[in-house]
Amino acid sequence: MGAAEIGIGIVGYGAMGKAHSYGYRVAPVMRRLRDRPRVRVISGRDREKVAAAATAYGIASSVSDWRDLVGRPDVDIVDICTPPGTHAEIAAAAAEAGKAVICEKPLAVTYAQAASAVAAVEEAHVLNAVGFNYRRLPAVSLMKRMIDEGAVGAVRLLRATWLSDEFVDPAIPFDWRFDRSMGGTTIADLGSHLIDMATWMAGPIAEVSGQSETFARERSGRPVTVDDASAALARFESGASGVFEMARTAVRRPCDFTIEVNGDRGTLVFEYARLNELLYGDGDDRPELYGMRRIRAEHPSHPYTADWWPIGQGVGYGSSFVNQLGDLLDRWPEGPWEPDFAQGAAVQAVCEAIERSAVERRWVTVAEIVG
């Protein structure tokens, strides 16, 4: 077939390892990539389970220590799909080994860790990217494009909410998600996506006022060290105002995130439960047509859609990984990749500002965190 192959190593075989495996398999079918990705190895601590996953995902080999993966000469890109608390160390090792690094979000569980990961990839001069995959949904990408094109005018208000019921049941036993140092906060787990999209669309956030709550403070007799639910007011550097909320204790809300932008000339609303649509209220529309358009974000003129299905058929969650990995592979090996670790760290700084603000009960600037 003549095309070069790009060697991939995936660290972690859980939900994200599966999603990325899916992405690498599908990207070439949907897009005319010059070079073809080949996942050559996957790692996981349970030797048997990772071997089974490798078989299922069509990956030739598996290892039980990620250190055996990052140094392999047939691996060009290390793709990190492990719990957040492990990201920075793995990323630094991969960078040091000269590998390009793709890291799931959040980049880290503290800003300091995130900054160290940025330093590592910059020092090693390797391509790096953070897995803010929702950006690559056609409708979200269209929303960004429309804002850039002036569809809403100057952004004034932005609100973003993520409601899940993952932690509702107090009987769920303790695991790493409830451990601040391994899973990170709900602010970072759910909110990092929202903050990434918000700052991508409306520019940097200057300061925040947050509140946090943990309703089930103990699980399996161990203290829960993360928040169940948090919210924040935000001021963007542009002067726009924002409101964010993220909760894992909203009954019968599986993954309902929404993001809305009100500019001085228009409104755009994205609701994840309607992921193939984008609502657009155009202030310049004829008054007789007052209301919003429900754009079916599947027109061939829309981002990513020409690669996929005929209009109206709809894509799902998986498409975000295909589009993300496709974009990165398309730019291999020159780059640039985006969003990169620097953006991952910038998002982490906002998360940490919210967390600190909730503890100290005062407005906290992002500059305070970045130092």
Least Å distance, CB 61 to a copy of itself, is: 11
DSSP state of 274: G
Residue closer to a copy of itself, measured from CB, 281 or 339: 281
Using CA atoms, how far apart are residues 98 and 329, in angstroms rounded to an integer?
17
Least Å distance, CB 2 to a copy of itself, is: 8
71 Cβ contact list (under 8 Å, min separation 6) = 97
Residue closer to a copy of itself, measured from CB, 35 or 122: 35
Question: In the structure encoding, which two tokens stand for residue 145, read together?
Answer: 């494009």
Least Å distance, CB 51 to a copy of itself, is: 10
Residue closer to a copy of itself, measured from CB, 288 or 334: 288
Residue closer to a copy of itself, measured from CB, 45 or 362: 362
Burial 2-28 (b: 16+ CB within 10 A, else e): eeeebbbbbbbbeebbbbbbbbbbbbb
Least Å distance, CB 334 to a copy of itself, is: 22
Using CA atoms, how far apart are residues 86 and 73, in angstroms rounded to an integer?
23
Least Å distance, CB 283 to a copy of itself, is: 4
Least Å distance, CB 271 to a copy of itself, is: 11
Using CA atoms, how far apart are residues 158 and 146, in angstroms rounded to an integer?
15
Burial of 205 (0-12, 13-18, 19+ CB in 10 A): buried
| Side chain identity, residue 90 | I
Residue closer to a copy of itself, measured from CB, 34 or 222: 34
Residue closer to a copy of itself, measured from CB, 99 or 219: 219
Using CA atoms, how far apart are residues 105 and 131, in angstroms rounded to an integer?
5
Least Å distance, CB 357 to a copy of itself, is: 9
Q: Within 10 A of 74 (CB to CB), how many other CB atoms are there?
A: 13
Residue closer to a copy of itself, measured from CB, 102 or 127: 102
Using CA atoms, how far apart are residues 57 and 52, in angstroms rounded to an integer?
9
